[in-house]
Structure 1
Amino acid sequence: MREDSLPHLRGRQREWETLDRLLQSVRTGQSQVLVLRGEAGIGKTALLDQLCDRASGCQVARAAGVESEMELAFAGLHLLCAPFLDRLPTLPDPQADALRTVFGLRDGVAPDRFLIGLAVLTLLAKVAEERPLICVIDDAQWLDRASAQALAFVARRLVAESVAMVFAVREPADDKILASLPELTVHGLAPDDARALLEQARPGPLDEQVRDRLVAETRGNPLALLEMPRGLPVEELAGGFGPSRWPEVSAGISPGIEESFRRRIGALPAQTRALLLVAAAEPLGDPLMLWRAADRMGIGPAAADPANADGLMTIRERVVFRHPLVRTVVYRSAQAADRRAAHLALAEATGRDNDPARRAWHLAAAAEGPDEEVAAELERSAGQAQARGGLAAAASFLQRAVALTPDPVRRAERALTAAGASVQAGVFNAALGLLATAEAGPLEDLQRARANLLRAQARYWQTRGSEGPLLLLGAAQALEPLDPGLARKTYLDAWSAALFAGAMTRGTSMAEISSKALACPRPEGPPEAADVLLDGLALAVTGGRDAAAPLLRQAADRFSGDGAATIQEVVRSTAAAVMVWDYEAWATPLARQIRIARESGALSVLPVALDVLAQALCVAGDLRGAALLIAEAGAVTQATGSRIASYARLMLAGARGREAEARTLINVTIAEATAAGQGCAVQYARSATAMLCNGLGRYDEALAAAQRAAADTPELFVADWARIELVEAAARAGRPETARAALDRLRQGAAAAGTDWGLGVATRLRALLSDGSDADRLYREAIERLAPTPVRPELARAHLLYGEWLRRAGHRVAARDHLRQALELFGEMRMDAFAERARRELATAGERVRRRRVDAFDELTAQEAEIAQLAVAGRSNPEIGAQLFLSPRTVEWHLRKVFMKLGVSSRRELAGALNATGRTAESA
């Protein structure tokens, strides 16, 4: 595109070419995302204006962050979505209800913040079905956090929706929320373009030296070039006399631009300045709200005329400032008393019943000092703020209430409450500051104990490191004489933190935590499921599996049948289920809770639950299903920006036996987890290494890895899994005594549990260490026990070991039968290393075996495979999108790629293709 076709964008050929390509892509059905970065006045808003002007055939939605309302949740998102709210009935009910709640259109509990992002994605995709949609978000550095998170979520999930999202961000800015999105940095104009713009904007004589100095000091910033000369005497511009008093331009808000706007605003009549201030404090751009507030201040309509004549602000369908920087300068340059008056007028104009939360926020901004009445209203509004913006919004209201509370006792209690909300919202630094405020006031012993607990939680959840167990243990001990019930919950938190830190736990140990937890008195009345779980886990560490098995089994059963348990509680209870070798109690309640979480939109709790269920599928040999759950968990963590280590990915890599892929993952995990003090991840990685090497037949290496994994937190189930590998590796490496020692400990836990899973594995390993008729009998018993269980890899390994033993004993015909069954099972499960081991053994037994043919399904990506299986399971595109955080349009786009790769043209043919390769939708 030629530069002369862009009369308002001199020197912006490169930037406009990028935006023009963006427009062309959106018009052809591709989604686009771009973040424009640059200092204030550099031309980002002008580029956005030009984009909107030239978006013919497209719909345009605009929003802008406003500094004064950064703490009001979803204010920016509401601006962007307001024109499309009539489409809410077309969204899935959970998504529509989530948006109605956060936009104040209905009452309800706080929806998951990522459900809100998914709802916005679906809404924008619906709008774009009519015409391509361009979403423009200016001053994104001042978006409230909730809006920024939702919009970043949408931006990262766009694929084929005909939606473009263009953000403008002021530099320097700490906007990690938008990190990793495509960027374009907008620099100052080149000297020739800067001079031409200055001459075009400033008719009349202009001294060449003055012009060059303006160009140099503004560094080509267009707004500075246009604004700084305004109001300067003619002689300074024409003759070069006295320009030394001009301020230099710095990064961020240019003092020169700010001073220019301040001069222009200061020259306006007092009522006009007051009207501008009210408009700056009211970010919705609602003319009716502006005039209601102005009326309360005695400001008439004529006050708008001078601002309109000077081009600073126009009032039509919306209130619009000439440039976002004008709003900033108006608000920042006003006297504190004037700002308070503007906010008070806006609070009165809002009304108590219209929007209580916004009214309370304006009242807080209008307060001259501590004010209990306003603090109480903020506290009451925190609930509504939470419903609309989650815990972070509630924490902001409570934090403001703390600042306005005059009574020291009430102030300390409110600070504790605000700190609790901040911890739950993940705003840890704010929480620590509020705790310091609380502890500076008069606290009772229980309040101080609560403060210790919140500090421990904040510090642990910030790092998930090795010092967390000690912090939580100290908090539990402080709570014990004051609130035994809360103390026991904290002991369970400390135990879980020690599980996570594993052998790297500092300052305490799982044994110490368990001993102190068992000594803590229970509250009166029947024990809750969490109490039984704590006692069972603690006793397993201090007294062994024999003593703990009844409690562990009871806890697993309680959580399996307790429909009121939360997904977090069920995830925690799976440790008990695995310790008693109860597969159903492990997988079934988790699958139920995940289904509920998906349906309700509780997305933030899904990744850990999905990972734990994926571990269960690995143990069951459903590696394809495990990979799909891992991919889903990855989609959540990618969309939410969270970092959660995937233990299931390690298990999957060890079971698949693809060495290069597994080694890379294992090595990276061990390095990162060691640096972070996350010992459990290291233990999982070593256990996976042992399984990988056993599959490859590298028994010495498998033994070394298994011994280290079994020694790390040996009381836990991961150590049991490592002992399975240890016994086989030691037996094959000629270390029978080492194998027997590990088997003795494994048998003890399996016997206490009494399930076919545990007893079948223990019997298989006993057979491995036996001879003659004893070995033959034990192998048969192991196969008989394992055959009806869901744990197919253990059955396949029993057939493999029995077949290897039979071949070595000279029973080649019988050996081939078991080796053939092992090969078939390993092949179906895609346990490639073990399958190759079975194939080699079968060939040695005298049978010619073809290598497995790679089927077309293996060409699909994890996401394509998951979409394919969900489609075969009968899920609609909207249902698949809701589960995978995609728009229905993107689901359709992926399905077309799946059809092409598999050579089918319909869902019915897709079902046949999956069945032909042995892939069903059951695990999805």
Structure 2
Amino acid sequence: MWRCTAELAGRHTECQVLDRLVDAVRAGESRALVMHGEPGVGKTALLDYLAGHASGCRVVRAAGVQSEMELAFAGMHQLCAPMLDRPEALPLPQRDALRTAFGMNAGPAPDRFLIGLAALSLLSHVAEEQPLVCLVDDEQWLDHASAQVLAFVARRLGAESVGFVFAARVPGGALARLPELAVRGLREADARALLDSVLTGPIDGRVRDQIVAETRGNPLALLELPRGLTVAELAGGFGLPGAVPLEGSIEESFRRRVSALPDRTRQLLLLAAADPTGDPALVWRAVGRLGIGADAAAPAADAGLAEFGTRVRFRHPLARSAAYRSASTQDRQQAHGALAEVTDPRLDPDRRAWHRAQASPGPDEDIAVELERSAGRAQARGGLAASAAFLRQAATLTLDPAQRAGRALAAAQAKTQAGVFDVARDLLAMAESGPLSEVQQASVDVMKAQLAFVTSRGSEAAALLLKAARRLEPIDVDLSRATYLDALLAATFAGRLANPGADVVEVARAAGAAPPPRRDPRAPDLLLDGTAAALHTEYAAGVPILRRALTRFGAGMSVDEELRRMFLACITAMRIWDDHRCDVLSARYVQLARETGTLSELPLALTARTFTLLLAGDLTSAASLTDELQAVTEATGSGLAPYGALGLAALRGDEAAASALVEATIEDVTRRGEGIGITFAEWANATLNNGLGHYDKAAAAGRRATAYDKEPAALCWSLVELTEAAARCGMTETATEACRRLTEMTSASGTDWALGAQARSHALVSEGTAAERLYRESIARFGKTRLRVDRARAHLLYGEWLRRERRRGEAREQLRTALGMLEAMGVGAFAERARRELRATGETAHKRTLIEGHDELTAQEAQIARLARDGLSNPEIGTRLFISAHTVQYHLRKVFAKLGITSRSQLDRVLPGSPATVQRPR
């Protein structure tokens, strides 16, 4: 071993931090830490210190290797391989995901966040037997898939007796928001002591001071730089290198030592550097191919550059880099060629393909085809970034310009799916540099739109999709229609912030003129035709078509297609005021996203389901989904506006929290171009202020919400709030006009939801017996739906009207009903409004008292308690919240203590709200 105790001189503070981390893990807690600093500063030595002082813990290690960055899950496999003998401990979907990622199972590519959850569950299970410490060195060189998954696991640790320590050159990236420890150069006194420990003779004091200053206390630099200087140079200072970038200077020191070795030893080091596995058998087989003798290893070990034992191990990653970079291009190609020849094509076809690619002096179609096969295998394991790397290399080795462009296009698609958007844009540029068919050019347009949509859900996507859909019309009718449907959804999100020529009406006009389907229309075809008609022709023309689309939705559709179109289907159910379809479709959406592990769809699914629950007055379950959505958003980095949280805050009536959320949302969506977010934020603002009785503020917000009048799905609720606020402010003309616009939709829809909203709104601008008849009709209509909040508000408005008519006894009856319903649902501001009205009739109305102890729960404890009350097991709760089952149990113990109960069966008694209907995985 090269690392000695002396290298930890001056690291007392860092060692204390690591000691405390291990103590916490032994005590049953979880910890994560990112050590970061320049190359050679001692991060690896600190990891070794931690491994040596983690008595009583199981220690597993992994290290990123630069040449292995394109192999999917290579780093994660290093870490988890010693624990793969116990997959039965994982829930089946997680077990399958992990085995597929490691190439142990065949099957569809698992979502990377499902793989992360599987890794979290595996580590948690292992830690139940013995505290576990996971060490990851050179994180910056991990493959993309491993970096994402391991950072995800580290962020979701709770109470699993697991410690995760990363060593990286710079913080941030995948490791953002994890605790950090900056590892800097040694203090001057410690640096001098370390330098003196490796000098073989006297040194001039000024020379020593210069070395210490130039190395900035970097331990590896202090150990390496003097090696290239003679005793005379050290003594007198002649020939001392000038100040240079530290990483380059250290690598240059290693490069000088490599250059001084015999030719055969340099060849051996090059082979070892080109193979990241550290497998000595593989290296020696390659050595045999090149005719290098076994005696070539001794000079490398004597020079302190590499060891050839049970594993091939370099002195430092920069020593590996120096051995590789100091070789000529021809020598590198020869080394990779030898490694390709000795790599088993059955056991490790992907690494063999990669070596063949690096060995190729120019374009080679045979190798490009092999790389394409590797890309397919990587994608099947969920390694999208690795798949893209193989395809990118295949494109580089392709001579035919058209074929090269096609492969670059496929690589760009994989990079987009992997979330590496900058590289995807570069690959699209590479694809566009070659001759593209019309289909390929349309694919480029679609991918540019996808990049715009997934990165910001902003205003650029609709225009790009519209362009692609038009280009595809004469080539592929089905693909063209599917692209028009994507454009409609993108335009819906862009809303009032859409680019010129691509707002929702203009996209609908183009979609309405699209060629008809080549077969009998299916649900997606009807969605396209109906949406185009409703948005461009007239609302009433689209309703019957959209109703048929929702009735047939799912028939003849694959699960992937169903998931892709489900959010638009949910919007459509709202657009035509169909509360039954809202309920059925949103429940199905969440179920599919969870069962398939498609976490990229889960934020939209949870949003749709949250609104359905809010309409039904189940604010408790809606809050559960909102919390889950926050966990998903943190895990996936989704940029979706917090629509569910807006609605929940508005109905709860928390003025400070709701107003802050509205303001933050408007700022965020305006920056990104997600115009529909402005409409929903202002709807929430209007709803909040109607509940609080601030009708002037509600009217102003309602006017802003309805200023963009091209999207019925967003206008449905906003016009209702504007009518009520304007009527209460005496703005008769505004209320009447809002009611008229509302009636254009509700009359065409004809559902109880639509006609109930219409009757209630007309009652607000009517008088006498007509108003009373309309209030009664609205209550009756809403009574036939799931819309308990709307029904309670109808009782409230009717009670207020009766009080103004001086019919106090009848008013009390309606207001009592409204107050009881609103309090039970937790619709706070409207409940308080009902209480004020009830007091005005002469009746005292007391607030309901909260159950003692419930308000002491943290947000996560309350969320876990609700899910446990609703019948979910610990593993199911962990899956929902991206935490381990062990952490769930830890929080439940705290919940029971705070609430004074001893079992799950008692949660229903002590938690407010009714249990949600649970969609269990099959």
TM-score per shorter chain, which class? over 0.9
Partner of 2:520: 526
Partner of 2:221: 224
Question: d(CA) in 2 for partners of 1:226 and 1:640?
Answer: 43
Gaps of at least 5 residues in structure 1 are: none
Note if contact 2:137-2:168 (Cα within 8 Å) is conserved in structure 1. yes
Residue 137 of structure 1 aligns to a residue whose secondary structure is strand
Question: d(CA) in 2 for partners of 1:349 and 1:107?
Answer: 26
The percent of aligned pairs where both chains have the same amino acid is: 54
Question: d(CA) in 2 for partners of 1:464 and 1:524?
Answer: 31
Residue 40 of structure 1 aligns to a residue whose secondary structure is coil
Partner of 2:446: 453
Displacement of 1:862: 3.6
Equivalent residue letter for 2:323: V
Equivalent residue letter for 1:226: L
1:199-598 alignment, distance < 5 Å: 199-237=196-234, 239-244=235-240, 246-251=241-246, 253=247, 255-508=248-501, 509-559=503-553, 564=558, 565-598=561-594
1:724-803 alignment, distance < 5 Å: 724-803=720-799
Partner of 1:812: 808
Q: Check 1:574–1:65 CA distance in 2 against 1; reply closer, same or farther (3 A cut).
A: same
Displacement of 1:563: 6.4
Note if contact 2:618-2:914 (Cα within 8 Å) is conserved in structure 1. no
1:682-697 alignment, distance < 5 Å: 682-697=678-693
Displacement of 1:458: 2.8
Residue 431 of structure 1 aligns to a residue whose secondary structure is helix
Note if contact 1:102-1:389 (Cα within 8 Å) is conserved in structure 2. yes
Question: d(CA) in 1 for partners of 2:576 and 2:594?
Answer: 29
Partner of 2:66: 67
Question: d(CA) in 2 for partners of 1:772 and 1:138?
Answer: 78
Equivalent residue letter for 1:869: R
Note if contact 1:64-1:137 (Cα within 8 Å) is conserved in structure 2. yes
Question: d(CA) in 1 for partners of 2:612 and 2:53?
Answer: 54
Equivalent residue letter for 1:518: G
Residue 307 of structure 1 aligns to a residue whose secondary structure is helix
- Give deviations 1:279-327, integer Å, cap 9, x for gaps: 2222222233333333333334433333333332234443322222222
Displacement of 1:7: 4.5
Note if contact 1:536-1:576 (Cα within 8 Å) is conserved in structure 2. no
Equivalent residue letter for 1:786: F
1:45-60 alignment, distance < 5 Å: 45-60=44-59
Question: d(CA) in 2 for partners of 1:23 and 1:637?
Answer: 30
Question: d(CA) in 2 for partners of 1:661 and 1:923?
Answer: 29
Question: d(CA) in 1 for partners of 2:704 and 2:580?
Answer: 29
Question: d(CA) in 2 for partners of 1:469 and 1:597?
Answer: 25
**Is residue 890 from structure 1 mapped to residue 884 from structure 2 by the alignment?**
no
Note if contact 1:628-1:866 (Cα within 8 Å) is conserved in structure 2. yes
Partner of 1:611: 607
Question: d(CA) in 1 for partners of 2:174 and 2:619?
Answer: 34
Question: d(CA) in 2 for partners of 1:300 and 1:896?
Answer: 64
Note if contact 2:579-2:786 (Cα within 8 Å) is conserved in structure 1. yes
Partner of 1:922: 917
Displacement of 1:587: 2.5
Displacement of 1:618: 1.4
**Is residue 116 from structure 1 mapped to residue 130 from structure 2 by the alignment?**
no
- Give deviations 1:892-917, integer Å, cap 9, x for gaps: 11111211221112222223323xx3
- Give deviations 1:546-587, integer Å, cap 9, x for gaps: 111101111222226666343231112112111111112122
864, 868, 873: which one pairs with 1:871? Answer: 868
Partner of 1:152: 151
Note if contact 1:201-1:226 (Cα within 8 Å) is conserved in structure 2. yes
Question: d(CA) in 2 for partners of 1:684 and 1:241?
Answer: 71
Question: d(CA) in 1 for partners of 2:114 and 2:434?
Answer: 39
Residue 61 of structure 1 aligns to a residue whose secondary structure is strand
Note if contact 1:117-1:151 (Cα within 8 Å) is conserved in structure 2. yes
Displacement of 1:247: 4.5
Question: d(CA) in 1 for partners of 2:870 and 2:691?
Answer: 33
Note if contact 1:567-1:594 (Cα within 8 Å) is conserved in structure 2. no
- Give deviations 1:863-920, integer Å, cap 9, x for gaps: 3223212222332212221221111111111111211221112222223323xx3442
Q: Check 1:560–1:444 CA distance in 2 against 1; reply closer, same or farther (3 A cut).
A: closer
Note if contact 1:628-1:863 (Cα within 8 Å) is conserved in structure 2. no
Equivalent residue letter for 1:250: P
TM-score, with structure 1 as normaliser: 0.96
Partner of 1:701: 697
Displacement of 1:22: 0.8
Equivalent residue letter for 1:204: G
- Give deviations 1:504-534, integer Å, cap 9, x for gaps: 1121222111111111112311113211111
Equivalent residue letter for 1:579: R
Q: Check 1:544–1:901 CA distance in 2 against 1; reply closer, same or farther (3 A cut).
A: farther
Note if contact 2:570-2:585 (Cα within 8 Å) is conserved in structure 1. no
Displacement of 1:423: 3.1
Residue 226 of structure 2 aligns to a residue whose secondary structure is coil
Residue 135 of structure 2 aligns to a residue whose secondary structure is strand
Note if contact 2:792-2:821 (Cα within 8 Å) is conserved in structure 1. yes
Question: d(CA) in 1 for partners of 2:425 and 2:213?
Answer: 45
Equivalent residue letter for 1:183: E
Question: d(CA) in 1 for partners of 2:98 and 2:282?
Answer: 23
Equivalent residue letter for 2:245: S
Question: d(CA) in 1 for partners of 2:89 and 2:295?
Answer: 44
Displacement of 1:250: 1.7
Note if contact 1:125-1:161 (Cα within 8 Å) is conserved in structure 2. yes
Note if contact 1:502-1:713 (Cα within 8 Å) is conserved in structure 2. no
166, 173, 177: which one pairs with 2:174? Answer: 177
Partner of 1:105: 104
Residue 164 of structure 1 aligns to a residue whose secondary structure is strand
Gaps of at least 5 residues in structure 2 are: none
Question: d(CA) in 1 for partners of 2:296 and 2:106?
Answer: 38
Equivalent residue letter for 1:884: L
Residue 566 of structure 1 aligns to a residue whose secondary structure is helix
Residue 362 of structure 2 aligns to a residue whose secondary structure is coil
Residue 604 of structure 1 aligns to a residue whose secondary structure is coil
Displacement of 1:595: 1.9
Note if contact 1:343-1:366 (Cα within 8 Å) is conserved in structure 2. yes
Partner of 2:140: 141
Equivalent residue letter for 1:899: F
Partner of 2:34: 35
Note if contact 1:628-1:862 (Cα within 8 Å) is conserved in structure 2. no
Displacement of 1:460: 4.2
- Count of aligned pairs between the two proteins: 912
Question: d(CA) in 1 for partners of 2:229 and 2:490?
Answer: 65
Question: d(CA) in 2 for partners of 1:335 and 1:391?
Answer: 32
Residue 106 of structure 2 aligns to a residue whose secondary structure is coil
Residue 29 of structure 1 aligns to a residue whose secondary structure is coil
Note if contact 1:412-1:443 (Cα within 8 Å) is conserved in structure 2. yes
Partner of 1:911: 908
Question: d(CA) in 2 for partners of 1:765 and 1:821?
Answer: 20
Q: Check 1:240–1:619 CA distance in 2 against 1; reply closer, same or farther (3 A cut).
A: same
Residue 363 of structure 2 aligns to a residue whose secondary structure is coil
Question: d(CA) in 2 for partners of 1:523 and 1:145?
Answer: 40
TM-score, with structure 2 as normaliser: 0.96
Tell me how large the CA RMSD over aligned residues is.
1.9
Question: d(CA) in 2 for partners of 1:30 and 1:372?
Answer: 54
Q: Check 1:434–1:274 CA distance in 2 against 1; reply closer, same or farther (3 A cut).
A: same
821, 828, 838: which one pairs with 1:825? Answer: 821
Note if contact 1:560-1:588 (Cα within 8 Å) is conserved in structure 2. no
Displacement of 1:185: 0.9
Which shifted more, 363-372 or 281-290? 281-290
Which shifted more, 631-640 or 772-781? 772-781
